[in-house]
Amino acid sequence: MPPLVFAFLAALAIIASLGVILQRNPVHCVLSFALALTDIGVLFMGLGAVTVGFLQIVVYVGAIMVLFLFVIWLLNTQADALKPRGNLGIKFAGAIGAAVLAAELFVTFSSYPRMREIRTMPPDFGSIASVARMLFSDYLVAFEVTSLLLLASIVGAIALARTTTGAASPALPVTGGGDAPAGAPGASIASGAPARESA
């Protein structure tokens, strides 16, 4: 893909990711993430992996992000305002560590020769047919095992999250936003306007 397009998409991805980790309201984080995912999906397509790119958008953004939103809504998690400051030290150290990690990876990757070459691909590179061909030949076992994995995760998720009769489940908000429902002690802070959180 032309470098300019790439630059634009890369910048967008980085900004969206920063938005994920920096924004206060978790819903905003999820939405930022969705943007980032879409961006990455486009990058996939640009690299010729059309199938995977579509899959990324459909599965990741369409299903997983929605799942996140549902959970956030279910837990009625709102902005983390008025909470005591977290351990500033570890945040600082974590950020520095992340930066160092990025630098190390940079150095490692850039040392490999021939990373700057560009090649042309056969026309069906990345098409559904070729992906499917690989899935059902070389990666057949992995494919089948993955289906088992999905089954296990379904069963697990249901088993973990189901309510036994009588156990309190957080009440669904009658109106969007607003005060915390009565009887939900402690952690979820009710506040109308999201205040600046001390992250």
| Nearest to other proteins of 11, 192 (CB atom) | 11
Give yes or no for residue 172 binding other proteins (CB under 8 A): no
Give yes or no for residue 54 binding other proteins (CB under 8 A): no
Binders of other proteins among 133-152, rule CB under 8 A?
Answer: 134-135, 138-139, 142, 146, 149-150, 152
Give yes or no for residue 10 binding other proteins (CB under 8 A): yes
Angle, helices 26-46 vs 3-22, to 10°: value is 160
Exactly one of 82, 140, 161, 171 binds other proteins (CB under 8 A); that residue is 161
Give yes or no for residue 165 binding other proteins (CB under 8 A): no
Q: What is the DSSP letter of 57?
A: I
CA dihedral 132, 136, 138, 142 (to 10 degrees): 100
Residue type at 74? L
Exactly one of 123, 166, 176, 186 binds other proteins (CB under 8 A); that residue is 186
Q: Which two tokens stand for residue 52?
A: 């995977």
| Nearest to other proteins of 74, 195 (CB atom) | 74
Q: CB 193 → other proteins: shortest distance, Å?
A: 18
| Nearest to other proteins of 89, 176 (CB atom) | 89
Give yes or no for residue 191 binding other proteins (CB under 8 A): no
One symbol per residue from 63 to 102: x for binding other proteins (CB under 8 A), - otherwise; what is it? xx--xx--xx-xx-x--x--x--xx--xx-xxx-xxxxxx
Give yes or no for residue 118 binding other proteins (CB under 8 A): yes
Residue 135 CB contacts under 8 Å (≥ 6 apart), including other chains = 143
* Contacts within 8 Å (CB) and 24+ apart, 186-190: 188/75, 188/76, 188/77, 188/78, 189/78, 189/79, 189/80, 189/81, 189/82, 189/83, 190/78
Furthest C-alpha separation in the chain: 63
Give yes or no for residue 51 binding other proteins (CB under 8 A): yes
Residue 124 CB contacts under 8 Å (≥ 6 apart), including other chains = 130
